[in-house]
Amino acid sequence: MNVLVIGAGGLTGKKIVKQLAESNQHLVRAMIRKAEQTDEMERLGAKAILADLEQDFSFALNDVNAVIFAAGSGSSTGHDKTIAVDQEGAKKTVDFAKEKGIERFIMLSSMGADTIEEAPASLVPYLEAKKAADEYLIKSGLNFTIVRPGGLTDDPGTGMIELATRFSPMGGTIPREDVAHVLVESLTMKETEGKVFEIISGYTPINKALTRI
Amino acid sequence: MNVLVIGAGGLTGKKIVKQLAESNQHLVRAMIRKAEQTDEMERLGAKAILADLEQDFSFALNDVNAVIFAAGSGSSTGHDKTIAVDQEGAKKTVDFAKEKGIERFIMLSSMGADTIEEAPASLVPYLEAKKAADEYLIKSGLNFTIVRPGGLTDDPGTGMIELATRFSPMGGTIPREDVAHVLVESLTMKETEGKVFEIISGYTPINKALTRI
């Protein structure tokens, strides 16, 4: 497939780009906001697409079969950026994906987007943005998968997870490398189509966990 | 602890009694409805208590520290028995446990008791009874754990599960032997106190899964 990764310059985004390129199953387009990330994306084996989620980026979806949305404004930005990027950026991507007839849409969401009433106050704006984006995608008619990881870490991936409709509010963490792996696998696994699920580190091989959704 | 198992003569109940007796950590009282089950309970290492959930059975909770409620009217009985045993029997047990100052109450519930709107129609009366009993227990102020397994099987236990707030509507199955193990372990694991969770067969050792609720 010809896959567009949105948020390719981020911590999880880079791991997604790398895994997609290494799979040799996909052509990878890496959407980045900063020109200085171009070299890194090309070194990873992707075609860099310079575009901004807060502008018109519909051209980035030309000739693309699948989208992995992994953009996030980050925890250091204010509420306005969370709305602009995590929520409105995602919703615009959904709109463009419909216009262009994209076959597959994988959304990187967050554990707790379904249980906001139980979240710490500092996370509420972020979770509300993710929830609004997820609901917009679910209603879009696109062929979606929504992946909601627990707390992200930079530990090396283990390839082993647990997967459920809801772990929250119980919590848990997971390395970004394993999250990237789940997103990439979901692209081609029929079992994940139309599904929303949470993941944390665990003892089940990723492929196995994804077959029994 | 001095543990009363309610529903001890059932398929899961017998496994609970056996494991409790073999643990050598507990004195086991096995509440049964039919006198002819007495020998079997004593052979398993328990003291048999003959009592009926549809009558006054408060005496069965005398000198008891903990209750495991594993009674069920079974799938071959009608809706009236489901209400009488699964729901009202459980609620009466909660009332008696409060009166007697029971320290620990472990409830065998069912996956799907929280997502009845997604269940097949044939299961709805059963799940509604379980849900009503669970809610009654949660509000009781007792020190509870509510365990909600997926579809029960008679396969040998593996000792390996997955545990989450919700797997349903995704589903899954689990051997009764593993369910019994989770109920017995929950008795003495602080981490499970006040928790409601679903379990299915998986790849995580039971003890490990229960520590990270």
Where exactly are the structural domains of chain A?
2-211
Answer whether residue A200 shows pLDDT above 90. Answer: yes
Answer whether residue A75 shows pLDDT above 90. Answer: no
Predicted confidence band at A124 (pLDDT cuts at 50, 70, 90)?
very high
Residue B114 touches chain A, beta carbons under 8 Å: no
What is the pLDDT, as a whole number, of residue B117? 92
Q: What is the pTM of this model?
A: 0.91
**Candidate from B172, B197, B204 with C-beta closest to A202:** B204
The string of DSSP codes covering B28-92 is EEEEES-GGGHHHHHHHT-EEEE--TTS--GGGGTT-SEEEE-----TTS-HHHIIIIIIIIHHH
Residue A166: closest CA among chain B residues belongs to which residue?
B166
- Residue (of B111, B85, B79) closest to B31 by Cα position: B85
What is the pLDDT, as a whole number, of residue B76? 73
- Residue (of A176, A151, A172) closest to A162 by Cα position: A172
Flag if A166 and B165 touch (Cβ within 8 Å): yes
pLDDT per residue as tens digits for the range B183-211: 999 999 999 999 999 999 999 999 999 99
For residue A59, count other CB atoms closer than 10 A to its CB: 9
Q: b/e for B98-110, b at 16 or more Cβ within 10 A?
A: eebebebbbbbbb
Predicted confidence band at A212 (pLDDT cuts at 50, 70, 90)?
confident
Predicted confidence band at B179 (pLDDT cuts at 50, 70, 90)?
very high
Flag if B165 and A162 touch (Cβ within 8 Å): no
Cis (ω within 30 of 0) for the bond into B125?
Answer: no
- Percent of chain A whose predicted confidence (pLDDT) is above 90: 90
Candidates 3.40.190.10, 3.40.50.720, 3.50.50.60, 3.40.630.40; correct CATH number of A2-211? 3.40.50.720
Is B203 annotated in the active site?
no
What are the Cα distances from residue B136, in Å, to A82, B102, B212? 41, 16, 26
Predicted confidence band at A171 (pLDDT cuts at 50, 70, 90)?
confident
- Catalytic site residue from A96, A126, A144, A197: A126
β-strands A2-6, B66-69 pairing: unpaired
- Percent of chain B whose predicted confidence (pLDDT) is above 70: 100
Give bridge partners of residue A146 from the DSSP assignment.
A107, A196
- Average pLDDT on A89-108 reads 98
Predicted confidence band at B74 (pLDDT cuts at 50, 70, 90)?
confident
CA dist A169 and A31 (Å) reads 33
What is the pLDDT, as a whole number, of residue B177? 98
Residue A169 touches chain B, beta carbons under 8 Å: yes
Contacts of A182 (CB under 8 A, 6+ apart): A147, A149, A161, A199, A206, A210
- Average pLDDT on A118-137 reads 94
pLDDT per residue as tens digits for the range B127-160: 999 999 999 999 999 999 999 999 999 999 999 9
- Residue (of A115, A96, A117) closest to A105 by Cα position: A96
CA dist B25 and B184 (Å) reads 11
Complex ipTM value? 0.85
For residue B19, count other CB atoms closer than 10 A to its CB: 19
Residue A198 touches chain B, beta carbons under 8 Å: yes
Flag if B203 and A203 touch (Cβ within 8 Å): yes
- Percent of chain B whose predicted confidence (pLDDT) is above 90: 90
Predicted confidence band at B212 (pLDDT cuts at 50, 70, 90)?
confident
- Average pLDDT on A13-29 reads 97
CA dist B3 and B140 (Å) reads 19
What is the pLDDT, as a whole number, of residue B135? 98
Under DSSP, the state recorded for A162 is E
CA dist B164 and A44 (Å) reads 36
Q: Rounded to a whole number, what is the distance in angstroms from the first to the last CA of chain B?
A: 23
Flag if A164 and B167 touch (Cβ within 8 Å): yes
Predicted confidence band at A151 (pLDDT cuts at 50, 70, 90)?
very high
pLDDT per residue as tens digits for the range B11-61: 999 999 999 999 999 999 999 999 999 999 999 999 999 999 999 999 999
- Average pLDDT on B163-171 reads 92
Q: Is residue A202 within 8 Å of residue A152, measured between CB atoms? A: no
**Candidate from A164, A165, A170 with C-beta closest to B213:** A170
Collapsing DSSP to helix, strand or coil, B174 comes out as strand
What is the pLDDT, as a whole number, of residue B19? 98
Predicted confidence band at B124 (pLDDT cuts at 50, 70, 90)?
very high
Residue B170: closest CA among chain A residues belongs to which residue?
A213
- Catalytic site residue from B96, B126, B167, B197: B126
Q: List the single range of A42-46, A95-99, A169-173, B67-71 with lowest mean pLDDT.
A: A169-173
What is the pLDDT, as a whole number, of residue A169? 86
